[in-house]
Amino acid sequence: MTAVVANAMSKPRLTRLSELYVKPPVYFVTLCTFDRKMILNNAATHSVFVRFCETATGHGIYVGRYVLMPDHIHLFVTSSLEGMDLSTWIKSLKNTLSKSWRAGAVAVPHWQKGFFDHLLRSADSYGEKWAYVAANPVRAGLVTAAEEWPYQGIVHDLERADFRRS
C-alpha cells in the first residue's frame, strides 16, 4: 500500500515504493525465432519445451505459464536461488530446442539473438500479463478462443510462493 505524504503548503504526493518486485522476482520473457521462422507450433517442439522446463527445477528454476506461438515464445520464470542467471538458462533452452530441430532437419539459424525480459512487480501484474499473453493466438487469428490453442500451459503455479522458499 502506498502512503500519501503532504504538508500544509503542498499537494499530497505518493511515496516511493519500498520494494520493486516480489521476492524472488518473476520475469516475463519473450524469445523470437530467427527471421520469425514459424517452427514453434508443433507437438514435438511443445513436448521438448515442457520436458526442459520440468527438469529446470533441478537448477532452482521454475517456469509458470507459457505460450508457444509459431515464431516466438512467451513465458514466466522465477527461481528459488539468489542471483538466478536467466541468460544462461535461456541459452540452454534455445540450445535444447535447436538440437531437436536439427535432428528434424530444420535449417539453422533458429533463434534471434538475445531475448526480451520484464521484471514483474506483483502477483496482480502476473495475472494481467497472462491474460494478455493467453489471448495472443486469438489476436493472431490462429484460434477463436484462447483455450483452444494447444501450445500453451503451466509448468508450475508461480502464484504459490511456498515452493520457491527452499
- How confident is the model over 96-147, as pLDDT tens digits? 999 999 998 888 999 999 999 988 877 667 888 899 999 999 999 999 999 9
- Mean of pLDDT values over 24-42: 93
Which CATH number does the domain housing residue 70 bear?
Answer: 3.30.70.1290
Bigger pLDDT: 9 vs 92 = 92
Closest CA to 62 of 144, 164, 159: 164
Q: How confident is the model at residue 150 (pLDDT cuts 50, 70, 90)?
A: very high
Q: Is 15 among the domain residues? A: no
Q: Is 47 among the domain residues? A: yes
Pairing assessment for the beta strands 61-68 and 27-32 based on DSSP bridges: unpaired
Q: Per the structure, how many domains does the chain have?
A: 1
Q: Is 6 among the domain residues? A: no
Q: Is 58 among the domain residues? A: yes
State the Cα–Cα distance between residues 71 and 63, nearest whole angstrom: 19
- Mean of pLDDT values over 65-88: 88
Note down the domain range covering 35: 20-165
Has residue 21 got a pLDDT over 50? no
Q: Tell me the pLDDT tens digit for each residue of 50-75.
A: 999 999 888 889 999 999 999 999 99
- Residues near 14 by Cβ (< 8 Å), separated by ≥ 6? 2, 3, 4, 5
Please tell me the pTM assigned to this model.
0.81
Q: Is 65 among the domain residues? A: yes
The pLDDT value recorded for residue 80 is 78
Q: Is 11 among the domain residues? A: no
Q: Is 81 among the domain residues? A: yes
Q: Which of 45-59, 73-87, 150-164 has the lowest mean pLDDT?
A: 150-164
Has residue 3 got a pLDDT over 90? no
Q: Is 119 among the domain residues? A: yes
